[in-house]
A and B are shown apart, each in its own frame.
Chain A
């Protein structure tokens, strides 16, 4: 095993392979960032609808509960397959990367909406009643009273979930998206030692998620004490 690693190493660490891994890293990062951006926006929308109490929105709330609870209880691999086989006939030319990104969006929206909802619910109801008695509109009390206080509760778990999504995107390799895991498989298929190929991929994932999980831990410590 070790002779093979030593033998492959000079060729493996040639510029072209590293560039290939870096490009794959970019795709992994792009999927995660787009997914989390969309997840944050829609998650906030879902959370706001779910904490609202108007009877008018009751059917919508029921639907949203159904969506969130379903997507949190299906493996990402199954989500990927379903999204692929739904999108492919509807939009024939859709790229695999976009299909995988849509799947990450669906997953992250479900998880982040729960994180955001628990953040919004952490604001004491007296604050909202106070805002209402000051004649704040719903939007005003959301943006001026609730959100400024709830981001402390939202951010640490949200960062931890983003780390989870980075790791979940590795399953997109199964569709054939050339992200980090698929890049590792290709390198191994080209004949490099699996220890080098997958080891480099593990290091690349670590480089992506370690700073974020440190940031999550820092936020948790810092925001908890204040």
Chain B
């Protein structure tokens, strides 16, 4: 094998790639928070809802967690035009990832809600705490401790999962890597650099999330 690695062509495009990393982060960020809204509603429906609401959210979670996000986005992107709705690639990816994230976040948040023990709620009521006080001083500390680590892991997972947007022509990190490598034909070098960017990006994300968790919720989260 005589192959000389030439990283020069790739390093010249580093600003372009880092811009793509920013787009990846944006996709992850939007679908995370939109998914959290779905997740909160879903978790409340699953824990406190009537049997019908429980069934519906249960079905939603089971379906979306057992099928690949890629095929879900395919369905959105290629099937909706039949019904007269034409989605931009970015919109389709965001909707697909949000629905997918909502299902996972429902499960994570549900674990948080049920981590509050009934006896503690009763004790809080006996002490004459108001609803807001109960939420703030009894429920939230428990919920935060249970869900913070899985939530930050899930955010990292979403950053990695956002790479599927490249297959629809969205120019995020992987998409831009594909663009560059088809132009300069330095595929291995390009993807090696992109891999390093992903590692640094997710390490930064999990480190800062761990620091925030330690500072705000006193959660001891491991980075590695």
Contacts and interface: CB of A to CB of B under 8 A. Distances in A.
Interface in A147-177: 163, 166-168, 170-171, 173-174
A198 B66 CA distance: 15
Interface stretch (A54-62, A80-88, A129-137): A80-88
A14 interface: no
A201 B78 CA distance: 14
Given A73-B198, A74-B198, A75-B163, A206 B63 contact: yes
The A interface is mostly helix, strand or loop, or mixed, namely: helix
A167 B188 contact: no
Contacts of B74: 181, 184-185, 194, 198
B199 A184 contact: no
A202 B202 CA distance: 29
A73 B160 contact: yes
B45 interface: no
Contact of B156 (A73, A76, A86, A184): A73
A63 interface: no
A89 B75 contact: no
Interface in B154-194: 156, 160-161, 163-164, 166-167, 174, 177, 187-188, 191-192, 194
A121 interface: no
B83 A1 contact: yes
B3 interface: yes
B191 A81 contact: yes
Contacts of A85: 187-188, 191
A172 B70 CA distance: 11
Q: Which of B71, B72, B166 has the most CB of A within 10 A?
A: B71
A89 B2 CA distance: 10
A198 B82 contact: no
Q: Which of A70, A73, A173, A180 has the most CB of B within 10 A?
A: A73
A4 B191 contact: no
A120 to B, nearest CB: 16
Contacts of A89: 1, 3
Contacts of B156: 73
A188 B78 CA distance: 9
B70 to A, nearest CB: 5
20 contacts: A1-B79, A1-B84, A4-B82, A73-B156, A74-B160, A75-B198, A78-B195, A81-B187, A82-B191, A85-B188, A167-B67, A181-B70, A181-B71, A184-B71, A188-B78, A194-B75, A195-B75, A205-B67, A210-B62, A213-B65
